[in-house]
């Protein structure tokens, strides 16, 4: 596959993971809400796509946190705390991303950790 095509697909994936999936009309959010409302009806077939998506979100988040913290020349202890905040936010409060971009949440985590 040509490198330009690989790069294009990567950009599309990043846009989906960081912003498109979090819009109010996103089918992903509807699917997550259905799972939350009826956990007894959720089987592996329903959970597998969501789990795969969140693994990708976590990977992209880790890359973005590392890259941004390197550019800001933050100490490793601060980077670790920012990463901990982001993991907690993604696992327990993913609805905070609705109508926001992942980058906004990362910047808020960096600000919060540095401020404390």
Task: State the CATH number of the domain containing residue 105.
Answer: 1.10.472.10
Give the separation between CA 68 and CA 105, rounded to whole angstroms.
12
pLDDT tier for residue 99 given thresholds of 50, 70 and 90: very high
φ and ψ at 73, to 5 degrees? 55, 45
Residue 7: per-residue pLDDT: 94
φ and ψ at 28, to 5 degrees? -60, -45
Where in the sequence is the domain holding 8, given as residue range(s)?
A: 3-115
Least confident among 21-35, 55-69, 92-106: 21-35
What mean pLDDT do residues 7-19 have? 93
Number of domains into which the chain is organized: 1
pTM of the model: 0.84
- Degrees to nearest 5, angle at CA 55 with 113 and 9: 105
Residue 43 has pLDDT above 80, yes or no: no
What is the distance, to the nearest Å, from the Cα of residue 109 to the centroid of all Cα atoms in its chain? 13
What mean pLDDT do residues 83-105 have? 92
Residue 46 has pLDDT above 90, yes or no: no
pLDDT tier for residue 86 given thresholds of 50, 70 and 90: very high
Residue 53: per-residue pLDDT: 92
């Amino acid at each position: 596959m040509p490198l330009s095509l690989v790069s294009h697909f990567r950009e599309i994936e990043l846009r989906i993971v960081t912003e498109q999936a979090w819009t109010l009309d996103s089918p992903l959010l509807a699917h997550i809400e259905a799972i939350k409302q009826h956990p007894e009806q959720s089987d592996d077939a329903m959970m597998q796509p969501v789990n795969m998506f969140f693994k990708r979100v976590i990977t992209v988040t880790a890359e973005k946190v590392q890259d941004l913290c390197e550019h800001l020349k933050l100490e490793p202890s601060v980077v670790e705390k920012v990463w901990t905040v982001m993991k907690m936010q993604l696992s327990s409060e993913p609805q905070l991303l609705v109508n926001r971009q992942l980058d906004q949440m990362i910047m808020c985590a960096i600000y919060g950790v540095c401020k404390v």
